[in-house]
Amino acid sequence: MKDTESEKETGEEQKKKKGKSLIQKERTRTAFERLQLAWIRAALTLMAIGIGALEYYFNRIEAGKAPFLKLVTGSELGLFLIITSSVILSLATIQHIKSMAKLKEYFPEMRYSVATVLSILVLALSFLLFLMMSLRL
In percent, how much of the chain has pLDDT > 90?
A: 47
Asked if the model's pLDDT at residue 31 lies above 90, the reply is yes
Residue pLDDT, tens place only, 125-134: 999 988 887 7
Asked if the model's pLDDT at residue 47 lies above 90, the reply is yes
Phi-psi region of 102 (alpha: psi -120 to 50; beta: other; left: phi over 0): alpha
Residue pLDDT, tens place only, 82-127: 999 999 999 999 999 999 999 999 888 888 899 999 999 999 999 9
Distance from C-alpha of 6 to C-alpha of 2, rounded to nearest angstrom? 6
